[in-house]
Amino acid sequence: MKKWIAPRDQHVECKKPVPYLDQKTAVFDAVVVGSGAGGATAAYVLVNYGLKVLLLDAGRMLHPPKDFLTHTMPWELPFRGQGKPGEYDGLWKINEYTAHLYTNPRKETYDSIDNFHWTRLRAVGGRTNTWGRCCFRHGPLDFKSKTRQGYADDWPIDYEDIEPYYDKVERLVGIVGNKDNYYNMPDGVYCGPPHRLRCGEVLLMERAKKVGVPVLHERTAVLSVPYDGRPACHYCGECGNGCDVRARFSSLDVLIPKLLKQPNFTLRTNSAVYQVLTNDEGLARGVSFYDSLSQQYNEVSARTVVLAASTVESGRILLNSKSRQHPNGLGNSSGLIGHYLMDTTKSGPVMGVMPLMRNRQRVDEDGAGGGHVTIPRFNYRRKNSYYGGYFLLGGTGFGRGISSSGGASTWGAALKKQIRQDYGATLSFRGYGERLADFNNYFEIDPSNKDRFGIPQVRFHVSTSDNDIKMMDDAYGWIEEVMRACDAEILPYKKRVEPMGDATHEAGACRMGTDAKTSVLNPFCQLHDVKNLFVTDASCFVTSPGTHGITTWIMALSWRASDHLAEQMKKGEL
Ligand SMILES: Cc1cc2nc3c(=O)[nH]c(=O)nc-3n(C[C@H](O)[C@H](O)[C@H](O)COP(=O)(O)OP(=O)(O)OC[C@H]3O[C@@H](n4cnc5c(N)ncnc54)[C@H](O)[C@@H]3O)c2cc1C
Ligand code: SF4
């Protein structure tokens, strides 16, 4: 087969013919589906074992200088960054800076769109192109909620199983942070010091301590020093729109360039996987996919298949892969694929204005995108009316736009005065907490809806639980306490729990376990029912604890699963 590598400036509108994979000759050791955090990690590990790997992604290749509007000012955009009215306003994450990256749920819709906010970014690198970059490790308690905390289920693995993989991943990603020795949130391997605090963050750290609330330096995948051939952050503060200099980690910028140098690696973009194909014994023999450029279906064969298309997409591929041997969907003898769907429980925003900070001198404190501090889970030794814990994400400083001036609550001259006075004086928070795994939160194939590639779509059945409400109620209480400690005037707000999916940490639809009747994957993310098929995104999660850092956790699990795959292949077991 002729090797085809997508040029960096390949765009979806490109009409150039794309070479076909020749089915007869294109037998890969592994085909990996999805080039985001989980998939690119799997491809990286397998390629380094010398395996012949094909990485398929439904999206296009991105060209950061063209595709990321990092340094575009709002006034340079037709709708000042907000986007055309009616186009995507009111829809999570999408604005004029990112509309060309995300899938617009109004255009590619699914049932129960208001109940589940499903964030899809189809492009090489997936959602690591726009992610929030917070990378705290989960600790020993998080793997053993049932035995050590008295609720939910235990993972079949311990922190010690994943610790060496966290080390490897953090070295690859490039994380900066502080060694805090904080309870149940192990320190990581840091390539540089944490980012310097903004003025408001210094105040927050001092004042929160007085009411017993810890504030830690953010552990983030944004470089504070040059690392691995990438430059340190130049503090434009716009990471959420994509970084154009590779100072923050994305699989597009860090893993894909390493992979493209390897002769045993092939990337194929614009290839939406429909089904995992099986042979007479019910084992995986390859995948079928829709080539969105040629608008044709193709098949490719491989000895093993690794799905990492993100939690919902991987589950959807499995449920769509029905066959004689797998009538309920591939690997679904337990009937659990799609069930126990989780996402971090997320509160609405609370904003305050700190009078001490009003009318202060304008300084450049944009910093790296997002906060340089975080309030980690701190309810361990308290008596709580709910299970689990949460972290608080805060924002302060001089940012782009009037939201950092306390919002537009008036008009004309009064508005201008308010903006000048409050710019840089605001403090905002949201709570993000553990959502308990519940069989009744699930997705399934919707028989009456197909996506634009003609592939059957999913529909969601999810709801907010009492535990979510009580936990976020506690979070609101502590947010107010911290605000008061900072002497902030709290602006009117409404307590709410955001729809599931809004935190973009969906997980758990193919939970791991040792019993094939009560779990879909084994402790190495390998299907109980199909030994040459692995799922290496967050599908395997048993719980989703209230610590910020799902992505490096996914990558660590993916690395461990890929090691296992390669070792089993070496022994001839696959
Ligand atoms: C705004 C935002 C902020 C976030 N903040 C943080 C944070 O601070 N910390 C943190 O840890 N996490 C954060 N996340 C979550 C993080 O982005 C995800 O955890 C991570 O990207 C998930 O990795 P993944 O590989 O499972 O999926 P993705 O990164 O979404 O990658 C999936 C890939 O699969 C491809 N794909 C999908 N379907 C198919 C198909 N049928 N065939 C072929 N390819 C397919 C997609 O094109 C995509 O490239 C954030 C996410 C967002 C959007
Ligand atoms: S703040 Fe730093 S990491 Fe973020 S986009 Fe700007 S340069 Fe890149």
The finding on whether 248 has its CB within 6 A of some atom of ligand 1 is no
Ligand 1 atom closest to 504 (CA): 51
Does residue 93 sit within a domain? no
CA 279 to chain centre: 33
Whether 388 and 148 have beta carbons less than 8 Å apart is answered as no
List the residue whose alpha carbon is closest to atom 31 of ligand 1: 36
Atom of ligand 1 nearest to the CA of 551: 11
What distance in angstroms lies between residue 244's CA and the mean position of ligand 2's atoms? Answer: 8
Q: Are residues 495 and 396 in the same domain?
A: yes
Best residue among 57, 293, 551, 557 to mutate for probing ligand 1, ranked by most atoms within 8 Å of CB = 551
Q: Do both 297 and 410 map to the same domain? A: no
Q: Which protein residue has the closest C-alpha to ligand 1 atom 50?
A: 131
Q: What is the pTM of this model?
A: 0.95
Q: How far apart are the first and last CA of the chain?
A: 23
User: Taking all residues of the chain, what is their mean pLDDT, rounded to a whole number?
Assistant: 93
- C-alpha of 1 from chain center: 34
Name the domain boundary from 478, 499, 520: 499
The pLDDT of residue 20 is: 52
Q: Is 434 in the pocket of ligand 1 (CB under 6 A)?
A: no
Phi, psi of 212 (to 5 degrees): 80, 20
> How confident is residue 26, by pLDDT bands cut at 50, 70 and 90?
low
Residue 150, domain member (yes or no): no
Residues 480 and 567 in one domain: no
Output DSSP code: residue 231: P
Asked if 454 and 388 sit in the same domain, the reply is no
Question: Does the C-beta of 472 come closer than 6 Å to ligand 1?
Answer: no
How far apart are the CA of 247 and the centre of ligand 2, in A? 6
Does 372 share its domain with 409?
Answer: yes
Q: Ligand 2, residues 69, 248, 364, 398: which to mutate, most atoms within 8 A of Cβ?
A: 248
In ligand 1, the atom with minimum distance to the C-alpha of 125 is 49
Give dist(CA 498, CA 540) in Å, integer.
24
Tens digits of per-residue pLDDT, 58-114?
A: 999 999 999 999 999 999 999 988 888 888 877 878 999 999 999 999 899 999 898
- Ligand nearest the Cα of residue 122 is 1
Asked, for residue 84, whether it belongs to a domain, the answer is no
Q: Answer whether residue 152 is part of any domain.
A: no
Pairing of β 345-346 and β 426-433: antiparallel
pLDDT at residue 21, as a whole number: 58
> Would you give the DSSP letter of residue 225?
S
Q: What share of the chain has pLDDT > 70, as a percent?
A: 94
Q: Region 244-259: what's the mean pLDDT?
A: 96
Q: pLDDT, tens digit, for every residue of 306-337?
A: 999 999 999 999 999 999 999 999 999 999 99
Residue type, 212: G
d(CA 425, CA 7): 45
Residues 226, 262: one domain? Answer: no
What pLDDT, on a 0 to 100 scale, did the predictor assign at position 24?
53
Same domain as 458, residue 470: no
d(CA 71, CA 62): 17
Domain edge (last residue) among 499, 526, 556: 499
Pick from 256, 4, 267, 293: which is nearest to 125 by CA?
256
Can you tell me which atom of ligand 1 is nearest the CA of 274? 41
* Same domain flag for 458 and 469: no
For ligand 1, the distance from its centroid to the CA atom of residue 37, given in whole angstroms, is 6
The DSSP secondary structure of 396-457, one letter per residue, reads ESS-SSGGGGT---S-HHHHHHHHHHHTT-EEEEEEEE-----TTSEEEEEEEEE-TTSPEE
Q: Is residue 50 part of a domain?
A: yes
The answer to whether position 139 is within a domain reads: no
Task: Tell me the CA distances in angstroms from 98 to 8, 224, 242, one per residue in order.
Answer: 19, 25, 9
* Rg of the chain, C-alpha, whole Å: 23
| Distance (Å, whole) CA 96 – CA 87 | 10
Q: How far does the centroid of ligand 2 lie from the alpha carbon of residue 240, in Å?
A: 9
Percent over 90 (pLDDT), the chain: 85
**Ligand 1 contact, 550 CB (< 6 A):** yes
CATH no. for residue 121? 3.50.50.60
- 342, 443, 510 from 545: Cα distances, Å: 10, 21, 17
Q: Is 432 in the pocket of ligand 1 (CB under 6 A)?
A: no
What's the 344 CA to ligand 1 centre distance in angstroms? 15
Check whether residue 267 and residue 321 sit in a common domain.
Answer: yes
- Predicted pLDDT of residue 8: 35
The single residue listed with the structure tokens 């614009």 is 270
Q: How many domains does the chain have?
A: 2
CB of 47 sitting under 6 A from ligand 1: no
Alpha-carbon gap, residue 470 to 64, rounded angstroms: 42
Q: Find the residues whose C-beta lies inside 6 A of ligand 2.
A: 70, 222, 233-239, 243, 245, 247-248, 368-369
Asked, for residue 148, whether it belongs to a domain, the answer is no
14, pLDDT greater than 90: no
Q: Quote the CA–CA distance of 290 and 300 in Å, as a whole number.
A: 11
Domain final residue pick, 499, 525, 546: 499
CA 126 / ligand 1 centre spacing (Å): 5
Instruction: Please check whether residue 508 lies inside any domain of the structure.
Output: yes
Our answer on whether the CB atom of 37 is closer than 6 Å to any ligand 1 atom is yes
User: Which atom belonging to ligand 2 lies closest to the Cα atom of 247?
Assistant: 3
Beta carbons of 397 and 404 less than 8 angstroms apart: yes
Ligand located closest to 133 CA: 1
Residues 325 and 286 reside in one and the same domain: yes
* DSSP letter (8 states) at residue 342: B
Task: Please check whether residues 340 and 350 belong to one and the same domain.
Answer: no
- The atom number, within ligand 2, closest to the CA of 235 reads 1
Q: How far is the CA of 38 from the centre of ligand 1 (A)?
A: 8
Give, in order, the Cα–Cα distances in Å from 25 to each of 22, 300, 302: 6, 9, 11
Beta-carbon contacts of 227 under 8 Å, excluding residues fewer than 6 positions away, are: 174, 191, 192
509 lies in the same domain as 400: no
Q: pLDDT value at position 92?
A: 77
Which domain covers residue 415, as residue numbers? 181-240+346-429+464-499
